[in-house]
Amino acid sequence: MKPIKIREIIEEALGIPLPIIMDCIGHNEDIMRHEWNSLNPQTPKDVRRFYSEGHGMLWNFLAASGLDADGTDMMPGSVFNFAVSNYPKGRCLDIGCGLGRYGIIFSNFGWNVTFSDIEGHAFNLVKKWISLQERENVRFIDIPVEDDYADLGDEKYDAIINMDLLEHVPEPVEMLRFLLDRLVLGGLMCLEVFFDNLSLGGTVMPKAPYYLKRNYERYNDREAWYGIVEESGLEPVWWDENKIPKLYMKVS
């Protein structure tokens, strides 16, 4: 594997000069606010455009993950490190992968990883970055902008990374079941949703997009949400420092 830093390929991958990108990251909140104000967040079509075309989301990814990240950070103490250290390797799906850093951890431990996200700027950068690392155990599946579901075929996965995804789709429970149909019995799901944060003092953006705002209102009871998850056939096997389950096993 050849470590590649995002900084080294970002201009080529995006066609945007690095100084402009650095300036945008430095003013990340302003960029995000501008993007919100340039669309009507109450319509699904415009929300999809924000996620696929809005540079604000890309800058957010980069600011959160670090321009110099090269895929070698194992996130000690994280749910991902626990999963790859305690369970046998297999096939992993990183759905809504963002910059793909979680899936890369699985790849580093020999898992075959499928990265999937909405087609657009961010995912193009992910493809370029990961491909240049000369990893042999990865592939990519685009999610069409007009659709919420990737064409995953009939393949089953031994682990699915499902982090901060469900709150952004029209029907979170339906999406959860869609993914569970593609998880083997005994398989793992790394699962996190923003619903968890509400009972810990989290807040919803005043101008939250269409799906996000509605889902917060529908699933703002943390215990009720966990009940839905466990009724779907998932059993928690790892909890974070706030005693929030983040790793589940499919038991039925």
Is residue 1, in this structure, part of any structural domain at all?
Answer: no
| pLDDT tens for each residue of 111-152 | 999 999 887 767 877 888 888 888 889 999 988 766 767 788
Within this chain, do residues 91 and 193 fall inside the same structural domain, yes or no?
A: yes
pTM for this model (two decimals): 0.81
CA distance to 82, 84, 144, per residue, from 161 (Å): 13, 12, 19
pLDDT tens for each residue of 75-94: 667 899 999 999 999 999 99
Handedness of CA 14, 124, 173, 246 (dihedral sign): negative
Q: Is 85 exposed, middle or buried (0-12, 13-18, 19+ CB in 10 A)?
A: exposed
Are 57 and 181 contained in the same domain? no
Cα distance between residue 90 and residue 250, in whole Å:
15
Residue range of the domain that includes 240: 79-250
Say how many domains are in the chain: 2
Q: Quick one: pLDDT band at residue 200, thresholds 50, 70, 90?
A: very low
Q: Provide the CATH number for the domain around residue 105.
A: 3.40.50.150
Q: Are residues 235 and 181 in the same domain?
A: yes
Are 187 and 113 contained in the same domain? yes
Same domain membership, residue 141 and residue 112: yes
User: Does residue 85 share a domain with residue 38?
Assistant: no
Q: What is the pLDDT of residues 205-226, one digit of tens each?
A: 444 555 677 787 788 778 888 8
Q: Are residues 126 and 198 in the same domain?
A: yes
